[in-house]
Chains A and B, each alone.
Chain A
């Protein structure tokens, strides 16, 4: 069983489009995260949700909007995609805030 899963694995789209990435965890964790890993492999936090409540919201354009329908899911919606949004996006979860995080396989987004 996959602990943290993301769909899709690859996403190729044109500038200006709107897209969503879905994340699900079956670990029973309370906290979920979205990270962005750029071309230099630098991993940076974007958002964090604890029990469906937003607790970390880094300096991310408001074109990015996370949504948590329940504790096991955290989706990322991106409006008006730009070339600079091309990156690998990782979802992660942890038992609670401050505990070790478990990462999904990533979604490679390419904006053309």
Chain B
């Protein structure tokens, strides 16, 4: 069964303090790794899809990278509006089922 582990569970940063979130996965035949952002009381918002080791994608202050066993979401000079829960999910095997991690709650203080 596919598994996704995200760390840390919670992360507090000062505005401008860069850091990284980790997503470790075990999957039978990775078809894609997805990053989502979820604000309180809202649905997950799609950020990135990564398909193969070595791939990188960027969007504003966020950069996602992928290796054969984990993915990192790097946040550069975060702002308070980056505060949210960041979810990682993998699509593996032949059943097209997305398996989510439990998320990292990021708080950026002004």
| A residues apposed to B, CB below 8 Å | 4, 40-45, 48, 55-56, 58, 90, 92, 97-98, 100-106
Contacts and interface: CB of A to CB of B under 8 A. Distances in A.
Interface string B82-109: 0001010001000111111011000000
Contacts of B34: 100-101
B42 interface: yes
A54 to B, nearest CB: 13
A98 B46 contact: no
Interface of B is mostly: strand
Given A4-B43, A48-B97, 17 more contacts: A40-B102, A43-B87, A44-B100, A45-B98, A58-B97, A90-B43, A90-B44, A97-B96, A100-B49, A101-B34, A101-B46, A101-B98, A103-B36, A103-B46, A105-B43, A106-B41, A106-B42
B85 A41 contact: yes
Contacts of B46: 100-103
Contacts of A45: 97-99
A106 B31 contact: no
Contacts of B85: 41
B96 A56 contact: yes
Contact of B43 (A40, A98, A106): A106
B103 A41 contact: yes
Contact of A48 (B41, B42, B96): B96
